[in-house]
A and B are shown apart, each in its own frame.
Chain A
């Protein structure tokens, strides 16, 4: 693996920073770009879990949605400072992630996928049926958050730059993590959990740590969402949304960090454009996923040295 920061990502980030200057970047496209980068960043944080540690989370939508709700609840009550909303969201998501990661990482295999799925369903069901949080319609019409009195993030342009900063920071965090000793242990766990355990690493603790980091990054992304949409709804937490995050990672390429960002952006833009013309859009996505899994598990920029075949059986 290469150094913490190559010029490639830096250039890409710089290009994204000047994107709004292009002539056709209307408000609508800025919002689309916002979504693309936000979900790209979330896919990237999921990649930490999926690509580097080998844990598939079917509950990431809950981290995202919780972050969104936490912020929306504050915004609704007039607490609009971003410096308060973000830490609060981090706290809420962190607590939830602590519980989920503790229990989900206890055993091996698809246990993690199933538990994250069910925890997420609990969260979804809770928000969907609790009227205090708006029930199935969620929290609507919240005001925009602000960085400082007088400087609210209330235009697509400002939202875009906010998410760009978030993406940059998230990427840095992931990059540093992945190129450090911690990251190498994660890969070791992915390759052979038992061996890592025999080497003396407290596997569960590593899994918990990466799960929480991934969850926090996703939750912070979620916290930025109400600023753009003015709402938080339970639908953000459907398990099918978690599935979409997984698709983004797969399209972009497991274990590359940058790949999922592109995968996420690609997914969002494609969905927006294509679904206006054809309504069998999901067949395409499903087929693309099947195709990628079968023939291109590396996605657009995948791991070169994916594990070869080994049938997984946990029984002795």
Chain B
């Protein structure tokens, strides 16, 4: 019992906290894939830019909360500009090109960030410190906040996609963009705004996780692979799937560390991914036929 309380439950909590934030990141990625057919290799860099934008805003305003509002908007804008100038011309072509292009963009963003802010690790102090006695250990308040904030955001996004006209439009576009075009909707604008939204989500995830993981130019590279795995596991294009998968992966990572070498945990996750891709490429809730 002592073990359960002292070790197991905290690990579960770690997994949930991380999983929720990962869900925010993966959500943007899966929507873009579902909508544009593009696996955005630069998504990790948008995540990273969110954290750096946060640093910039905090530098000016000394307010984490201000950063939480401004940074996603700024990165969303970057996303919109990027989509219009570089991705839009490629929709007509083989998706192979968009894939490679986003890889190039990732390089530019990453190195650009390093030039502007330096390669040193930067810290963003959590807006409040302190910890709460919880489950036999003292759990940092900020992590609890992270869990709460991510959950609220995910709920808000779900509401957006199910209850608002704009959200339903995006979902329709994911289903069948040509049809929507026929109905007179400005499909390119939907694409751009969705891409911007995805970028903003990634930025938000980056900023929210920054006080825990710290900020450095490589932070996107490490997260992107995990985000891909979540998206595949959940089903490419399925939003609910990616959230569920994110939590699953977060928990799996956290719990497996207890029993395996942390290095083997990574292999276990990849192995799981390969099995899923082979046996059920659509993941948990993916649409049939996307990859089959």
Chain A residues within CB distance 8 Å of chain B? 50, 54, 56, 103, 106-111, 113-115, 117-119, 121-122, 125-126, 128-129, 239-240, 243, 246-247, 250, 279-283, 285-290, 293-294, 297, 307-316
**Contact indicator A293/B274 (Cβ below 8 Å):** no
- Given known pairs A103-B274, A122-B271, the reply for A290 and B101 (CB within 8 Å) is yes
Measured CA separation A247–B110 after assembly (Å): 16
Residue pair A103, B96 in contact (C-beta under 8 Å): no
Contact with A along B36-48 (1 / 0, CB 8 A): 0101000000000
B277 within 8 A of A: yes
Q: Name A's interface SS.
A: helix
Interface size on B, residues (CB 8 A): 48
- Distance between Cα atoms of A310 and B95 in the complex (Å): 10
B163 interface hit (Cβ, 8 Å): no
Cβ B273 vs Cβ A285 within 8 A: no
Docked-complex contact B37 and A313, CB < 8 angstroms: yes
CB distance from B191 to the nearest CB of A (A): 12
Over the window 97-132 of chain B, the binary record of Cβ atoms lying under 8 Å from chain A Cβ atoms (1 yes, 0 no) is 101110111111111100100000000000000000
Chain B, residue nearest A250 (CB): B100
A307 to B86, CA, bound (A): 19
Q: Mark contacts of B228-268 with chain A using CB atoms, 8 A cut-off: 1 yes-contact digit, 0 otherwise.
A: 11001000000000000000000000000000010110110
- Nearest chain A CB to B290's CB is how many angstroms away? 6
- Chain A residue numbers with a CB within 8 Å of B261 are 129
What A residues does B91 contact at CB under 8 A?
311
Task: Point out residues on B near A: beta carbons under 8 Å.
Answer: 37, 39, 86, 89-97, 99-101, 103-112, 115, 221, 225, 228-229, 232, 261, 263-264, 266-267, 270-271, 273-274, 277-278, 281, 287, 289-292
The B interface is mostly helix, strand or loop, or mixed, namely helix
Q: Name the contact of B263 in the complex, choosing from A125, A283, A316 (C-beta under 8 A).
A: A125
Are B232 and A282 in touch, CB under 8 angstroms? no
- In the complex the two chains form, what is the Cα distance from A118 to B229 in whole Å? 9
With contacts A109-B95, A118-B273, A293-B97 taken as known, whether A246 is within 8 angstroms of B103 at the C-beta atoms is yes
Choice from A119, A129, A294 contacting B101 with Cβ under 8 Å: A294
Quick one: given A103-B278, A118-B274, A282-B111, are A56 and B290 in contact (CB under 8 Å)? no
CA distance A177 to B93 in the complex (A): 27
Q: Which residues of A contact B109 (CB under 8 A)?
A: 286
Known: A111-B291, A129-B263. A239 touches B225 (CB 8 A): yes
Residue of B nearest to A295 (CB): B89
Contact B266 A125 (CB under 8 A): yes
B105 to chain A, nearest CB (A): 6
State A33–B289 Cα separation when bound (angstroms): 46
Q: Lowest 4 CB-CB distances: which A-B pairs, in order?
A: A309-B92, A286-B107, A129-B263, A289-B104
- Within the complex, the shortest CB–CB distance from A241 to chain B, in Å, comes to 12
B39-A285 in contact (CB<8A): no
Instruction: Please state if A290 and B96 are interface contacts (CB–CB under 8 Å).
Output: no
* Shortest Cβ gap from B221 to chain A (Å): 7
Q: Contact at B99–A121, with CB atoms within 8 Å?
A: no
Evaluate whether A286 and B278 lie within 8 angstroms (CB atoms) in the complex, with A54-B96, A280-B115, A311-B92 already known.
no
Residue from B90, B225, B277 within 8 A of A294 (CB atoms):
B90
When the two chains form their complex, are residues A246 and B95 in contact, meaning their CB atoms are under 8 A apart?
no
In the bound complex, residues from chain A placing their C-beta under 8 Å from that of B96 are 50, 54, 56, 110, 113
Question: Are B99 and A113 interface neighbours, CB within 8 A?
Answer: yes
Task: Specify the chain B residue showing the minimal Cβ separation from A281.
Answer: B111
Q: How far is the CA of A297 from the CA of B101 in the complex (A)?
A: 11
Which residues of A are found within 8 Å of B232, using beta-carbon distances? 114
Contacts of A115 in B (CB 8 A): 274, 277
Q: Which residue of B lies closest to A128 (CB)?
A: B263
Within 8 Å CB of A240, what residues of B?
221
B73 shortest CB reach to chain A, Å: 24
CB pair A290–B108 under 8 Å, yes or no, is: yes
